[in-house]
Amino acid sequence: MFIKQYVNNWITNILAITFITLALLSFGYAEYFDRLFIASLICIALFNVRDANIVSIVLVILSERFFEEIIFFTSSYALAKPLVYLLSLFLVKKLWYDPLSKRIILPTIIFCILCETYWYATSYSAPRIHSYVAMLMLNMITRHLIFLRVPIFRKFLSFNLVQKNITIPLKQIPLDLRLYSISMLSCVVIAAIIGEYLLRHFLHVNSLVVYEYYPYIMQAFTIATLLFIANYIVKSVFKIKA
């Protein structure tokens, strides 16, 4: 059992290094980059299926990617905009314990609603900033799931079939804090690009700095996520119990 787990961890490390290398080579090509990231997460989960922490973290990140695709394909629908803002206000209330909701999220949403109202009243061709607001809230949900990962996934461990296949128990690990921080940085960057949209379309300030670097920054966060996960697995392989 120990040898099998040791081999699986080594395979995971090799796969992680391979995918990180390919991710760096595909940097700037979002379509290939995202596919590589999803493939790497699935492989990591499969080779660490007995580690409740790795599996739960991968499920959170894959869920985020799944809903990103939904946001992308539904943002053009007529009901998407009002639905996004209503759900955002509801989620802000639910996530009010997080200081980020008070300092960045709520002010951003309020400014967006005010600008959207003005643009609608003046028949201005408004930018599709509600897509970014949806992404902002999705990152807040991811941050919430990482924060409460242990109590949320502990419910699934009550099933006998799951308990029998888990060798590394569910617990808070240093990786949680790193991913929690990445979610915070993602929220800040998304809020920044929303702010730049508002400056450009409301105050007519010709600024495209955040817009141009946004995809590269988000891809850098994705690579950092994969690096942190790989680093955690490597450390767990060589950890010697006292």
pLDDT at 61: 96
Our measurement of the distance from residue 19's CA atom to the centroid of its chain's CA atoms, rounded to an integer in Å, reads 18
What digits encode the pLDDT tens for the residues 54-110? 999 999 999 999 999 999 899 989 899 999 999 999 999 999 999 999 999 999 999
Tokens for 220?
A: 């850098």
Q: Which residue has tokens 């809230």?
A: 137
pLDDT at 27: 62
**More confident: 116 or 231:** 116
DSSP 28: T
pLDDT at 51: 87
Q: At a CB cut-off of 8 Å and minimum separation 6, what does 172 contact?
A: 149, 150
- The helix or strand, by DSSP H or E, that contains position 193, with its residue range, turns out to be helix 174-202
Contact 54, 45 (CB under 8 A): yes
In 10 A of CB 38, how many CB atoms?
A: 14
DSSP 103: I
Reply yes or no on whether the pLDDT at 26 is more than 80.
no
What digits encode the pLDDT tens for the residues 179-225? 999 999 999 999 999 999 999 998 888 889 999 999 889 988 998 99
pLDDT at 87: 96
pLDDT at 14: 67
Tokens for 124?
A: 């201005």
Q: Residue 241: pLDDT band by 50, 70, 90 thresholds?
A: very low
Where residue 29 falls (left for φ over 0; alpha for ψ -120 to 50; beta otherwise) is beta
The answer to whether the Cα torsion of 134, 29, 217, 204 is positive or negative is negative
Phi, psi of 166 (to 5 degrees): -100, 125
Phi, psi of 239 (to 5 degrees): -75, 125
Reply yes or no on whether the pLDDT at 240 is more than 60.
no
What digits encode the pLDDT tens for the residues 134-193? 999 999 999 999 999 999 988 877 666 566 667 777 899 999 999 999 999 999 999 999
pLDDT at 25: 62
Q: Which residue has tokens 């008070």?
A: 102
pLDDT at 40: 84
